[in-house]
């Protein structure tokens, strides 16, 4: 429950799958085919990817060198309007590091990049931005 109230079922149904964000960034047409028209055909590459994901989706966490790794973590944000399953999430000190966002030109912690990108995607989908400014780090 959020704030002591049960979540609104309509709000839950309206959440955008995180996988749709990845598909949209790769190819808006692919995103529409998979998430709007529900057209999906598995081929050799997608079958191989599905098999590779089985271990990662197992949900078994571990800790190595002070880094806790959680697999198959279910996440959602009613505020951002997204939900999904994070394939691999590693919580480490890096999320506290400061960086300059290339599109916004502002300093923020690395841990906030996902939230900022979700807000930028929402602005693009609403028509407030002409294009989605992807964040790519090396």
118/137 same-domain check:
yes
Interval 26-43 mean pLDDT: 86
Same domain assignment for residues 15 and 65 = yes
Residue-level pLDDT at 100: 92
Pair (37, 56) in one structural domain: yes
Residues 7-21: what's their mean pLDDT? 82
Considering the domain architecture, whether residues 57 and 124 belong to the same structural domain is answered as: no
Range of the structural domain that residue 104 is part of? 92-138
Quote the mean pLDDT of the chain.
Answer: 81
Q: Average pLDDT for residues 30-46, to the nearest whole number?
A: 84
- Statement to judge: residues 26 and 72 lie in one domain: yes
- The answer on 63 and 24 residing in a single domain is yes
* Overall domain count for the chain: 2
24-55 burial, b at 16+ Cβ within 10 Å, e below that, comes to: beeeeeebeebbeeeeeeeeeeeeeeeeeeee
Query: pLDDT tens-digit profile of 45-104?
Result: 778 777 777 766 766 777 887 777 777 778 888 888 888 877 655 555 667 789 999 999
- Whether 4 and 71 map to the same domain: the answer is yes
Please determine, for residue 5, whether its predicted confidence score (pLDDT) is greater than 70.
no
* pLDDT tens per residue across span 66-80: 777 777 778 888 888
Q: What is the spatial order of strands in the sheet that 67-77 belongs to?
A: 16-17, 82-91, 67-77, 62-64
- Angle subtended at Cα 61 by Cα 57 and Cα 64, rounded to the nearest 5 degrees: 125
Same domain, 59 and 41: yes
Looking at residue 11, its pLDDT comes to: 78
Q: Rounded distance, CA 133 to CA 103, Å?
A: 7
Mean pLDDT of 15-25: 86
Q: Are residues 108 and 43 in the same domain?
A: no
Q: Are residues 76 and 98 in the same domain?
A: no
The angle at the Cα of 23, spanning 22 to 24, to the nearest 5 degrees, equals 90
What is the pLDDT at residue 55?
Answer: 65
Give 29 or 58, the one with higher predicted confidence.
29
Query: In this structure, are 61 and 126 located in the same domain?
Result: no
Q: Are residues 96 and 83 in the same domain?
A: no
**74 φ, ψ (degrees, to nearest 5):** -80, 125
Final residue belonging to a domain, choices 71, 87, 103: 87
Alpha carbon distance 104, 112 (integer Å): 13
- pLDDT category, 133, cuts 50, 70, 90? very high
């Amino acid at each position: 429950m959020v704030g002591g109230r049960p979540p609104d079922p309509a709000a839950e149904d309206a959440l955008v799958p995180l996988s749709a964000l990845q598909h949209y960034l790769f190819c808006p047409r692919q995103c529409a085919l998979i998430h709007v028209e529900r057209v999906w055909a598995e081929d050799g590459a997608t079958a191989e990817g599905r098999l590779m994901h089985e271990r990662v989706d197992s949900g078994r966490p571990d800790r190595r060198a002070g880094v806790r790794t959680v697999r198959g973590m279910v996440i959602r944000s009613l505020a951002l309007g997204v939900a999904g399953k994070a394939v691999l999430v590693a919580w480490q000190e890096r999320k506290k590091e400061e960086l300059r966002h290339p599109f916004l030109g502002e300093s923020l912690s690395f841990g906030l990049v996902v939230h900022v990108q979700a807000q930028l995607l929402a602005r693009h989908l609403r028509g407030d931005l002409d294009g989605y400014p992807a964040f790519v780090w090396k």
